[in-house]
Structure formats: structure tokens, C-alpha cells
């Protein structure tokens, strides 16, 4: 018996039947409706797990259907995918604002994108996000804020504070990963090669035993894409399955996305236990961070899960912590002192900052920040 039931709402019979056959071949149970009103009745009567809706229906706009489904307790949690012939940005924005999880334009790549999206949406459930290791996502609104260095060094600090814990770092910075050069990894395994493997191979046991061990850093690494050409081959539909397997294998999974905010990385942010938001002191970065935070709030990210770090990567000049907090309208949890050339020196030698400069004030900040972040993650997980 199929494990998942999918509703297709589309007035175009040929399009509807084609998608239905594709999904049936993957062992999904498929229900069809030819109008918006029929789709609503079927959604409330047949209890599908997911709905694919053409938002350009004649009787009801897709936005109205989404609003009705999201307002009803029977279907409020059901993921909605818009599959439309309208590529306009106005329609895309209005559908996403109305409650659609994804918007896919009908094209030669639509079926592939649809399959990847369904796999991801079915994989991300509240129960799954609360299982396994704690997930921490590192991001910034602008490049050059030291996000990857923060991620690697805080992962090392977590490992040093908790020697019994298993820690994994995943580089999701696109199109070129940035953590491998920091830690000195030059091996062939990376996020692209892993997503290319058969799902049956990428088991928790595989990640437990096969991820490269960055010995002095105290964590195992899933390196990022080695070049832009490789990133084009990334099978994004596999990302959440891989993260889920990593969470089953490690006590802490830290994912660096840098400023690579996209449909690939947004679900990781939305379902992280803690979001490490790295901010620099220059006014342009703080302004962009304010815009980013407003966007994340609109996507359901709560302020309680954000751990903001002010990193004086550009020098002593720039905004103060108080000024940055006023602009962004979110508390800053930690302030990293200006590290001058020491940070670059440690990175160029592929060594953790706290090992290279154990007496530096920043070493204490790294260790305290790691303790606070892990304590926050455990607290939020328990709620």
C-alpha cells in the first residue's frame, strides 16, 4: 500500500494525467481534481499528504485555494506545491505569500524539480527535526564576514568542550565550498559526490565511518563543492535525506551556508535547532542583515532560535554592538574581538584558532560561545 497520498489539482487533463502517472510509478497514491472547488472538497475529504496545484485555475485562484487550505485545521499543515505555466515574479511571490511551499514553472525540468521537491518536503517533518543530533546552521547576509571560519572554529570548540560528542561539519556554501581550504582537506569526497550516490548507500553507518576525520579540528567533514561546474551537478533533492542520516550519526551537525540563501538552504534554516547569524560591523552588512532577518521572520523563523555573533572581521572601525542591535532589531549574543592577522594566519596553516593562539581573548570567546550555543540548542529541543 502506498505510504503517501498526493492530490493534483489541474484543469489541463493531459498535464494532470502525465504528473499522475509519474507519481504512481514512484508508488505514491494519486488523487485528481479538475477545478479549484473539486480540489478543496478532495483535500478535506480524502486527507492527502501533499497537494500539487495549478494556480491559474478558472474557478478559484491558487492563492485563494492555498488560503482556504491553510486556514482549515484539517489541511493547515499539508505542503502545497504550485505547478504553473505562469513564470511571472508577481504570481510566484503571491503564491508563496499565500502559503505554497514551492513554485515550479511547467518546463522540461519540471518533473525533475517536482520529484526533488516532493522528496524534500516529505522528508522534513516535525518529528524528524526533533530526532537525532542537534542541527546548527551558520549564515550571513553578506560575504566576507568570516562565517566559514566561525563555523569551523566553533565546531572545534564544541568538540573540545565535549570530548565525548561526535561533531560533523557540512559545507553548503555554493557554488564553491569554503571550509576545506580552512581545515586543509584535499580529498575527493564532497557534497556533490555524496548526493550522486544511491540513497541506499548514504546510511547513518556510512556517515559514521566514511566522513573524513579532521583530527586536530575534532570533527568529521562533508566538504563543499570544489568548483562552480560541480555545484551544477548537485542533486538538491537528496540534501535533507543526507542531513537526516547525519543527525542519526552525530551529536552535533553544523552546516555552513554562508550567504547561499536559496530554496535548497531555506528548509535547513527553518528546521535548525540554532541559527548562527554572523554579522560584521560595517553598515552595509548590518543593513543587509536587517533585510535578511525580516525575510526569515516571514518564513516562520523564531527569534529564540537565532544566535547572533558580531564578528569584527573588517577591523576596529564600524558600528558598535548597541547600534547594530538597534538596526537589526535582534539581540547580539556574542561579540568576537578584532583578530587582526591572527585569524588569517591560523587559517593559512589549517589550524584552529584556539590551538594556534590559546592565550588570546578570542579563544575564551570561542569556547564560551560554543557552550552557549549548545546549551541553547538543547533547551529549544527540549521545549
Question: Can you give the residue ranges of every domain in the chain?
Answer: 5-123, 131-382
One digit per residue, the tens of pLDDT, for the chain of length 383 reads 346 899 999 999 999 999 999 898 878 899 999 999 999 999 999 999 999 999 999 999 999 999 999 999 999 889 999 999 998 889 998 998 899 988 999 988 888 888 878 877 776 666 666 789 999 999 999 988 899 999 999 999 999 999 999 999 999 999 999 999 999 999 999 999 999 998 889 999 999 999 999 999 999 999 999 999 999 888 877 888 899 899 999 999 999 999 988 877 888 898 899 999 999 989 999 999 999 999 998 888 999 999 999 998 656 677 889 999 999 999 999 999 887 788 888 888 999 999 999 999 999 999 999 999 999 999 999 98
Chosen CATH of 5-123 out of 3.40.50.2300, 3.30.420.10, 3.40.50.970, 3.40.630.30: 3.40.50.2300
Q: What's the rounded Cα separation, in Å, for the pair 267 and 131?
A: 16
pTM: 0.75
3-state secondary structure of 54: coil
Contact 179, 151 (CB under 8 A): yes
For residue 328, the model assigns a pLDDT of 94
Looking at the domain 131-382, which fold is it? Answer: Rossmann fold (3.40.50)
Helix (H) or strand (E) holding 158: helix 147-161
Place of cell 525575510: 295
Helix (H) or strand (E) holding 8: strand 5-9
Fold: same for 5-123 and 131-382: yes
Other Cβ atoms closer than 10 A to 40: 20
For residue 112, the model assigns a pLDDT of 82
C-alpha cell recorded at residue 158: 564544541
For residue 1, the model assigns a pLDDT of 37
For residue 107, the model assigns a pLDDT of 87
Amino acid at each position: 500500500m502506498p505510504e503517501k497520498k498526493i492530490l493534483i489539482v489541474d484543469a489541463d487533463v493531459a498535464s494532470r494525467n502525465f504528473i499522475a502517472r509519474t507519481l504512481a510509478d514512484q508508488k505514491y497514491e494519486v488523487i485528481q481534481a479538475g477545478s479549484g472547488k473539486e480540489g478543496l472538497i478532495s483535500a478535506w475529504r480524502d486527507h492527502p499528504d501533499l497537494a500539487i496545484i495549478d494556480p491559474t485555475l478558472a474557478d478559484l485562484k491558487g492563492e485563494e485555494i492555498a488560503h482556504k487550505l491553510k486556514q482549515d485545521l484539517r489541511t493547515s499543515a499539508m505542503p502545497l506545491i504550485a505547478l504553473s505555466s505562469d513564470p511571472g515574479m508577481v504570481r510566484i511571490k503571491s503564491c508563496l505569500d499565500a502559503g505554497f511551499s514551492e513554485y515550479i514553472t511547467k518546463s522540461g525540468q519540471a518533473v525533475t524539480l517536482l520529484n526533488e521537491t516532493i522528496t524534500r518536503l516529505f522528508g522534513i517533518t516535525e518529528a524528524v527535526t526533533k530526532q537525532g543530533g542537534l542541527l546548527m546552521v551558520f549564515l550571513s547576509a553578506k560575504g566576507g564576514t568570516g562565517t566559514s571560519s566561525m563555523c569551523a572554529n566553533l565546531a572545534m570548540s564544541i568538540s573540545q568542550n565535549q570530548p565525548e560528542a561526535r561533531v560533523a561539519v557540512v559545507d553548503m556554501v555554493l557554488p564553491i565550498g569554503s571550509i576545506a581550504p580552512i581545515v586543509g582537506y584535499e580529498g575527493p569526497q564532497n557534497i556533490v559526490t555524496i548526493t550522486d550516490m544511491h540513497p541506499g548507500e548514504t546510511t547513518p553507518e556510512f556517515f559514521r565511518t566514511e566522513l573524513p576525520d579532521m583530527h586536530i579540528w575534532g570533527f568529521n567533514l562533508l566538504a563543499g563543492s570544489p568548483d562552480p561546474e560541480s555545484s551544477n551537478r548537485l542533486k538538491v533533492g537528496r540534501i535533507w535525506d543526507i542531513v537526516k542520516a547525519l543527525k542519526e550519526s552525530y551529536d552535533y551537525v553544523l552546516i555552513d551556508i554562508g550567504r547561499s540563501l536559496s530554496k535548497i538552504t531555506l528548509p535547513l534554516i527553518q528546521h535548525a535547532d540554532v541559527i548562527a547569524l554572523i554579522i560584521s560591523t560595517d553598515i552595509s552588512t548590518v543593513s543587509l542583515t536587517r533585510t535578511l532577518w525580516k525575510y526569515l521572520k516571514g518564513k516562520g523563523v523564531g527569534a529564540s532560535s537565532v544566535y547572533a555573533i558580531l564578528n569584527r572581521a573588517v577591523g576596529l572601525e564600524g558600528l558598535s554592538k548597541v547600534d547594530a542591535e538597534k538596526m537589526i532589531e535582534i539581540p547580539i549574543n556574542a561579540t568576537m574581538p578584532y583578530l587582526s592577522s591572527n585569524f588569517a594566519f591560523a587559517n593559512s596553516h589549517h589550524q584552529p584558532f584556539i590551538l594556534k593562539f590559546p592565550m588570546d581573548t578570542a579563544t575564551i570567546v570561542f569556547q564560551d560561545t560554543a557552550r552557549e550555543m549548545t546549551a541553547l540548542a538543547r533547551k529549544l529541543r527540549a521545549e
